[in-house]
Amino acid sequence: KHPFDEMQNPGGPHPVSKDIDSVLEYLTQSHGIDSSNIAALGFCWGVWALTKACAMGYKFTCGVGFHPSLVIEEVAFKVDVVDMSIAAAKKTPLFFCVSGNDPDNLKSPSGQVAKAVSSSVHKRGKTGNHPPKCVEFSEMVHGWVARGDISSENVKRDAQIALRMGSDFLKEWM
């Protein structure tokens, strides 16, 4: 049995739908959050979930991801990660911070996912100073923002920079 078998649901809703629906219901109904101004933020596989949700048509104001693990789309669902990313980027402004050892398709200027994200056209944005894009932190390893060793000055510095950039992107688009 494959570890991802339980995520398969042929003919039914995508497994990410139930979780996204629950979160959106909680935010809008329990806290009165305006559903037209909700962003998505993820780390690692959470970036896959937000990218998949955007590709499926969930209407997030924008999405921010740190060290994306999008490959689950290919491994578990046999769907091309680039196709998913193109669909997501067309619908939602995205900003991804990628590490040096993340897949090349996430890295600008030639990575296909990076191209899809940076070439997306969206009419919204307050100042135009924070366009959709993928930013590489070439000295960092996957996971540095969420679980990096911040006793290392370089890791601490780059994690703070990535979080600040993500925060600035959210402020721009929300």
**Digit-coded pLDDT (tens) for 76-126:** 888 889 999 999 999 999 999 999 999 999 999 899 999 999 998 887 667
- State the DSSP code for 27: I
Confidence at residue 5, expressed as pLDDT on a 0 to 100 scale: 58
Give the whole-angstrom CA distance, residue 41 versus residue 106: 17
The whole-chain average pLDDT of the chain stands at: 90
Rounded to an integer, what distance in angstroms lies between the CA atom of residue 108 and that of residue 121?
Answer: 17
Lowest mean pLDDT among 24-38, 72-86, 152-166: 72-86
The more confidently predicted of residues 70 and 78 is 70
Q: Do 65 and 96 form a contact (C-beta atoms < 8 A)?
A: yes
Residues forming beta bridges with residue 63, ordered by sequence position? 40, 94
Total-model pTM: 0.91
- Higher-confidence residue: 154 or 14? 154
pLDDT of residue 154: 98
| pLDDT attached to residue 9 | 58
Average pLDDT (51-76) is 92
pLDDT of residue 79: 83
Nearest to 64 by CA among 42, 88, 92: 42
| Consecutive H or E run containing 74 | helix 72-77
Average the pLDDT over 136-156 and give the result.
97
**Contact, 27 vs 129, CB < 8 A?**
no
> How many residues does the structure list for the chain?
174
Q: Are 88 and 60 a contacting pair, CB within 8 Å? A: no
**Across 30-36, average pLDDT:** 93
Is pLDDT above 70 for 11?
no
The residue-averaged pLDDT of 167-174 equals 94
